[in-house]
Structure 1
Amino acid sequence: MNLIASDIDPTYARMLDGYESPAILVSRNYEILATNDLYREAFGLPETAATLPRCYAVSHGYDRPCDEAGETCPLAAATASGERERVLHIHETPKGREHVDVEMLPIADETGELAFFIELLRPLPTAGEQAASQDMAGQSPAFNAMLSVISRVARSDVAVLLAGESGAGKELAAHTLHRNSLRHRAQMVTLECAGLTETLFESELFGHVRGAFTGANYHKAGLVEAANGGTLFLDEIGDVPLPLQVKLLRLIETGTYRQVGSTDVRHADFRLVCATHKDLDGMVAEGRFRQDLYYRINVFPVRVPALRERPEDIPLLANTFLRATGQGIGMHFTESAIQRLRSHDYPGNVRELRNIVTRCSIIGNSNVIDRSVVERAITGQALQADAVASGAASLQQAPDSGAGVKTLQEVESQHLDFLMRQFAGNKDAVAQAAGISVRSLYRRLAAKG
């Protein structure tokens, strides 16, 4: 406990030490009267000050309350309602600008009048100026609205259904949910439901015993077992075959399952998060998705916005992706390059933007990425040209084969050869730069012979 106002009853301030998150005691005039140690560690409030610091000045650098600066003020809301209030804010911290879940608890004095407020601040692990690969990045209204919903549901244990277009960032949203949940110390285990046969899906999810089917030469634990105590994330839940939806429903309802080839009933304790880009309501109406399963997984729906709904985030995302690429160290976009990135429509959403930035980092000839580089990365013309140029000398020396205009397959083959050389055979990096899955890359390389 750290008292800032010496005339405050220490009893009020001691309450702050009972919270496991940064907390402050605030007056009705926005003055910070006391803090706990977690607050000082997270937000760096000075030990002494000539006057009592105001919460809006410390958190935002404002010279007036949040509601007078165009934001929602939790203190004003709690004063009006007399009840606890929650908002999502972006605070200035020693680490930079961070998303913070703010909860304001009003405290009445012995006469029943509101005297103080306890403000709890829970920083959310999302990406700002510095980002990790598993972080979400954004500060637009659409992004903040989604993040606010995630922060509210994260600490409960209800099933969450993430809906949104392919490439919008549903898996990153699932990671954010898990890291802000009470299960964050355990694993989040992901099962990609698309493209799996019934046998493989059941084996991956539940595991199998030796001899359960042809090729089952050893005992295998399933992902349900690995997710025990943590989060089970089922990506593209709409692709689960109807016969397996029954077994999945039983797992969710009872928390029990059987490994393939076994009669032993096992128990699992996990938080369920699912994602889909499909219209599950329509699939239920058409009989392609079980209604009872739909209601089990859709306890709390969260919509992940498409990139076109949050264009303000494109500069932050582009710079985040550029720093994350090994090729992009020291590089930066010009303003005209950023404007070209913002003008693109991104049918592939955030995933497409990441691929474009990766291409820019490869084809750029200096540390400055200008509009022309972005244009070439978006259209793909530079990639084909570079691939052709890389083999131009040897082609000129080779006997004339009679081939004039190259086929699409030949151009694609040269492009893949070029990327394989650029990334020293790293297939994950090649697939990302080419904008295809690793599975597709293996198929195309195999077809090349």
Structure 2
Amino acid sequence: MTFTASSDAEPQWVLSPGRAELASFLEGLPEPHILCDPDYRIVAANQAYRHLYGGEGELTGRTCYEVSHHFDRPCDQAGESCPMARARQSGQRERILHLHHTSCGQSYVNIELTPLLSPSGELTGYIEKMETVQHAHLQPQAQGLIGRSPAFRQMLALVTRVAPTDSAVMLLGETGTGKDLVAQTLHASSQRAAKPFVPVDCSSLTETLFESELFGHERGAFTDAHRAKAGLVETAHEGTLFLDEVGDIPLTMQVKLLRLLESGVYRRVGSTEQRQANVRIVSATHRDLSTMVREGRFREDLYHRLCTFPIRLPPLRARAEDLPLLVDSLLRRLVPQRRIKLSPQALELLGHQPFHGNVRELRNLLERAIVLSDSALIGVEAVEWALQLDRDLQKDSQGRARETALHEPSSLPQVTGDGALRGSWQRLRIEELRERLQSWHGTRTELALELGISERTLYRKLKALGMA
């Protein structure tokens, strides 16, 4: 590959004849591709890449890290893993998940980079292929995976790598971390996306029902079998079978599931006819299956069949910087017809919660706060009230307290006749309000928004201070 710099202020890079043919080939590919020299400069970019990254600007001669990351130095010098640096060391094709600035905003992009070698083995450049990840987002969305924290990105990199394959995937993690959503993403990103995605809630199936629900039954197979019925395996043919809470599968049924995974063959209950199944298995559990195997409560051979490719989902406490994104996205899903927001103070309060129930617990808390708030801006009062309802429920379930909210005025926010909230946690903010009033020069509406409370609540506080 040769490059010639013109005498113009802006260099124009000229391809050698052989590389010009390669650039012409890349131009016809539907996926974004670029041809780079060993110094990270873009030598050629096809139309798909120009559409995704370039807009109206010129790309040739610019560095790939400046175009995609807005960096002033290579990725590996700016805190990112650089596929070009890795390919330089390995001499082989490298794949990596990156966060890129595109014409549609920041997006997750799968990069596949191939080094180009001369006949003598000298590195002459790279071909870089980009593929936007469709089901993971960095902005609030009504659907899909949401996040940008390192823990989330590490999980997503594994999801995007294994999704196009037929490998059995085991999703591990605490309850409420979104294993069902990741399973749907694996299916939607696979070559089976046009076929059925069939979830099986293993924890809800008794031992007597499990085989019939999974494999189906023939008419007369048991007392209530008045007609033949296809099982969930048959429904998922050529698609994905998602075994949720696989640790709850009865031990006697595990051997029959193992037979399906090993041979792809099963029988309906009450039938001698063998049926063939073509399904991809994705399973999930919050249990420690390795311990269950040691204790004899889960078959070791089934464990290894299901756990071909394990992915551990991070708990919410390991994704602190994702909290604002998750809150906005969950609010959109809960009330799509309204634009509900959390005040900064309310969001800060959420940031201090342990969230043992993870994203599911966060969703429930936000739904309570919506009900308890009369405004499109949910303040810290509604969030604190929603939290207190959960604390009282936990006290009751543990047997430590049986009193209702009306009997706990010192800790529980109460509702007065005019619908106002009252409680000790509110009184703690009186001193904060007094200090803010001394330096505040805006309107009361603006002050209420700043404090994350309603104007009515602000008026009551001012009245209590004798300043209304």
Scaled to the shorter chain, the TM-score interval is 0.7 to 0.9
Give 1:179's aligned residue: 188
Which ranges in structure 2 are unaligned for 5 or more consecutive residues? 1-11, 394-401, 408-468
Give 1:13's aligned residue: 23
TM-score between both structures, scaled by the size of structure 2: 0.77
Aligned-residue sequence identity (percent) comes to 47
The answer to whether residue 311 in structure 2 is matched with residue 325 in structure 1 is: no
Is 2:177–2:316's contact at 8 Å kept on the other side of the alignment?
yes
Superimposed CA distance per residue, residues 154-209 of structure 1 (whole angstroms, 9 cap, x where no aligned partner): 22211111110111111111122222222222222110100211232222211122
Give 1:226's aligned residue: 235
Q: Which of 96, 109, 130 pairs up with 2:118?
A: 109
Q: Which of 43, 49, 68 pairs up with 1:39?
A: 49
Matches of 1:279 and 1:382, distance apart in 2: 28
Q: CA 1:88–1:292 in structure 2 vs 1: closer, same or farther (change >3 Å)?
A: same
Q: Secondary structure at the match of 1:234?
A: strand
Number of matched pairs: 386
Q: Which of 26, 32, 36 pairs up with 1:22?
A: 32
Q: CA 1:21–1:383 in structure 2 vs 1: closer, same or farther (change >3 Å)?
A: farther
The answer to whether residue 69 in structure 2 is matched with residue 63 in structure 1 is: no
User: How do 1:335-414 and structure 2 match up within 5 A?
Assistant: 335-380=344-389
Is 2:83–2:96's contact at 8 Å kept on the other side of the alignment?
yes
Residue 294 of structure 1: CA displacement?
Answer: 0.7
After TM superposition, the structure 1 stretch with the greater mean CA deviation from structure 2, 165-174 or 326-335, is 326-335
Matched residue type, 1:205: L
Give 2:293's aligned residue: 284
Is 1:96–1:129's contact at 8 Å kept on the other side of the alignment?
no
The answer to whether residue 210 in structure 2 is matched with residue 210 in structure 1 is: no
Q: Which of 275, 299, 305 pairs up with 2:308?
A: 299
Matched residue type, 2:15: D
Is 1:376–1:382's contact at 8 Å kept on the other side of the alignment?
no
Matched residue type, 2:137: A
Q: Which of 193, 198, 215 pairs up with 2:207?
A: 198
Q: CA 1:59–1:383 in structure 2 vs 1: closer, same or farther (change >3 Å)?
A: farther
Residue 296 of structure 1: CA displacement?
Answer: 0.7
Give 1:164's aligned residue: 173
Residue 253 of structure 1: CA displacement?
Answer: 0.3
Q: Which of 154, 160, 185 pairs up with 1:145?
A: 154
Matches of 2:268 and 2:48, distance apart in 1: 45
Matches of 1:79 and 1:154, distance apart in 2: 27
Q: Secondary structure at the match of 1:323?
A: helix
Q: CA 1:223–1:286 in structure 2 vs 1: closer, same or farther (change >3 Å)?
A: same
TM-score between both structures, scaled by the size of structure 1: 0.80
User: How do 1:109-128 and structure 2 match up within 5 A?
Assistant: 109-124=118-133, 125-128=135-138
Superimposed CA distance per residue, residues 242-269 of structure 1 (whole angstroms, 9 cap, x where no aligned partner): 1110110000000011112221111111
Which contiguous aligned blocks of 4+ residues in structure 1 show a shift greater than 6 angstroms? 381-384, 406-411
Residue 381 of structure 1: CA displacement?
Answer: 7.5
Superimposed CA distance per residue, residues 374-404 of structure 1 (whole angstroms, 9 cap, x where no aligned partner): 11122228999xxxxxxxxxxxxxxxxxxxx
Is 1:162–1:275's contact at 8 Å kept on the other side of the alignment?
yes
Q: Secondary structure at the match of 1:229?
A: coil
Q: CA 1:284–1:307 in structure 2 vs 1: closer, same or farther (change >3 Å)?
A: same
Q: Which of 229, 252, 259 pairs up with 1:250?
A: 259
Q: CA 1:37–1:188 in structure 2 vs 1: closer, same or farther (change >3 Å)?
A: farther
Which ranges in structure 1 are unaligned for 5 or more consecutive residues? 385-405, 412-449
Q: CA 1:74–1:285 in structure 2 vs 1: closer, same or farther (change >3 Å)?
A: same
Matches of 1:339 and 1:237, distance apart in 2: 36
Larger radius of gyration: 2
Give 2:279's aligned residue: 270
Matches of 1:189 and 1:5, distance apart in 2: 53
Matched residue type, 1:39: Y
Give 1:334's aligned residue: 343
Is 2:36–2:126's contact at 8 Å kept on the other side of the alignment?
yes
